[in-house]
């Protein structure tokens, strides 16, 4: 598999279209060929079932012989504006003011992925995943229907042996959760592994394993990639809400940390959704740099409520590589239908 390509060859679909052009005269031979094709398809399907699932379930844009596989957000008007979604393998950064809907967008992105058979890694630094589940339920999405594996809960202190242990799940989870409170436990486990490793005793480059450090995140992501067998081609949606946490005490490091993360974790089968907070003082992204590693950048903001006396939220698509942006400015709204809340993006 190529690392970091946004497209996959889709010979099958081309063949299917050619078949449709065939006339009825090409009867038996055509049928035999079709049967052969079907058999080949079936065999291939067995080998690459997960990859094919993603290809089938997402929109595609044709570029000569290759098609860009599009990964939808599950937010109607936004997907429409982006030719069906963002290219598979790309990284999206949504930055903006508090309360503008970034986390709710992240929830939609995760949910749509699960519906399409993708796996999800959900890093939540602002609220426990339990709160994410409650918020999602208000929007009619029940994450409890899926096999959720909280990485930190699998790390336990063994009293007898006086050490941290990590218990792998018995079957591959649908969602691997790395959450705020869990990160401190992940940090302690990572530190223990470092101390017990022979290599670390001889090398000078020790990692910094404190709960909010980028090293702890990297350690947790390594475990998550391993659990979800990312290297075997499984399409995974990686959500980090929010990145700003990792440079909370050193915003000047934002750019470096972002590059470090992308270099280590981008893959053609990883599509990432990262959020970034605004510094209310400057009304710009807190820490400079994360938007430069992104293939797609969106910004959310509120109108000046003191002037307008209305709560108006907006979203702009500022950059989207390999995509013709149909609409780039939206009004964000929350509507309630019965008990279910709905996030609505209306192009303006
Ligand atoms: N159940 C709900 N029904 C309707 N609207 C809701 C509901 N839950 C949240 N909201 C709206 O969504 C907003 C919060 O959105 P969200 O948590 O995604 O913001 P955010 O951009 O992630 O903010 P922050 O930067 O503080 O994390 C709330 O301010 C509220 O107006
Ligand atoms: Mg949020």
Q: Which residue has the higher pLDDT, 206 or 307?
A: 307
Q: H or E element: which one contains 104?
A: helix 102-115
Q: With a threshold of 0.85, does the pTM exceed it?
A: no
Protein residue whose Cα sits closest to atom 30 of ligand 1: 99
DSSP 8-class letter at 195: H
Protein residue whose Cα sits closest to atom 13 of ligand 1: 99
Q: Which residue has the higher pLDDT, 282 or 51?
A: 282
Q: How far is ligand 2, taken at its centre, from the CA of residue 142, in Å?
A: 19
**Per-residue pLDDT reduced to its tens digit, 13-62:** 444 444 444 444 444 444 555 555 565 556 555 545 544 444 444 677 66
Q: Which two tokens stand for residue 299?
A: 């910004």
Please give the C-alpha separations between residue 84 and each of 59, 240, 292, in angstroms, as whole numbers: 5, 22, 23
Q: Ligand 1: which of 99, 106, 128, 239 to mutate, judged by most atoms within 8 Å of the beta carbon?
A: 99
Please report the atom of ligand 1 found closest to the CA of residue 106: 18
Proportion of the chain above pLDDT 90, given as a percent: 50
**Per-residue pLDDT reduced to its tens digit, 135-194:** 999 999 999 999 999 998 888 778 898 887 888 999 999 999 998 777 777 777 788 888
Sign of dihedral through CA atoms 70, 294, 149, 140?
Answer: negative
- 110: helix, coil or strand? helix
Residues with Cβ within 8 Å of 100's Cβ and at least 6 positions away in sequence, in order, are 300, 301, 302, 313, 314, 315, 332
Q: Which residue has the tokens 């060929």?
A: 33
- 153: helix, coil or strand? helix
Beta strands in the chain, from DSSP E residues, in sequence order: 7-9, 60-63, 66-71, 86-87, 91-96, 119-124, 148-150, 155-158, 163-166, 175-179, 236-241, 270-279, 284-285, 296-302, 313-320, 329-337, 340-347
Please report the atom of ligand 1 found closest to the CA of residue 107: 18
* Residues near ligand 1 (Cβ within 6 A): 98-104, 126, 138, 277, 334, 341
- Rounded Cα gap, residues 248 and 242, in angstroms: 11
- Rounded Cα gap, residues 45 and 235, in angstroms: 15
Contact 12, 40 (CB under 8 A): no
- Rounded Cα gap, residues 184 and 204, in angstroms: 23
What does the radius of gyration of the chain's CA atoms come to, in whole angstroms?
22
Protein residue whose Cα sits closest to atom 31 of ligand 1: 99
Please report the atom of ligand 1 found closest to the CA of residue 341: 3
């Amino acid at each position: 598999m190529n690392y970091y390509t946004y497209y996959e060859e889709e010979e099958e679909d081309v063949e299917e279209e050619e078949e449709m052009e065939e006339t009825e005269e090409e009867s038996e031979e055509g049928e035999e060929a079709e049967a052969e094709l079907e058999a080949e398809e079936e065999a291939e399907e067995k080998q690459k079932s997960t990859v094919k699932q993603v290809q089938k379930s997402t929109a595609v844009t044709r570029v000569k012989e290759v098609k860009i596989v599009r990964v939808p957000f599950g937010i109607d008007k936004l997907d429409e504006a982006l030719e069906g979604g963002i290219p598979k393998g790309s990284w999206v950064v949504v930055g903006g003011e508090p309360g503008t809907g970034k986390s709710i967008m992240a929830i939609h992105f995760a949910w749509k992925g699960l519906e399409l058979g993708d796996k999800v890694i959900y890093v939540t630094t602002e609220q426990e995943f339990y709160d994410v589940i409650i918020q999602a339920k208000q929007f009619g999405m029940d994450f409890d229907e899926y096999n959720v594996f909280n990485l930190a809960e699998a790390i336990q202190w063994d009293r007898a042996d006086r050490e941290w242990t990590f218990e792998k799940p018995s079957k591959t989870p649908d969602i691997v959760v790395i959450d705020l409170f869990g990160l401190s436990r992940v940090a302690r486990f990572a530190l223990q592994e470092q101390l017990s490793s022979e290599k670390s005793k001889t090398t000078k480059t020790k990692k910094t394993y404190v709960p909010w450090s980028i090293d702890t995140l990297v350690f947790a992501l390594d475990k998550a990639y391993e659990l979800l067998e990312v290297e075997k081609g499984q399409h995974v949606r990686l959500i980090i809400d929010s990145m700003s946490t990792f440079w909370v005490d050193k915003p000047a490091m934002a750019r470096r940390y972002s590059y470090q993360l992308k270099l280590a974790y981008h893959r053609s089968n990883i599509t990432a959704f990262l959020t970034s907070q605004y510094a209310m003082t400057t009304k710009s992204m807190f820490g400079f740099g994360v938007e430069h590693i992104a293939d797609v950048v969106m910004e959310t903001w509120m109108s000046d409520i003191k002037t307008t006396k209305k709560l108006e939220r907006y979203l702009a698509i500022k950059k989207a590589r390999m995509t013709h942006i149909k609409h780039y400015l939206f009004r964000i709204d929350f509507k309630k239908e019965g008990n279910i809340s709905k996030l609505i993006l209306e192009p303006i």
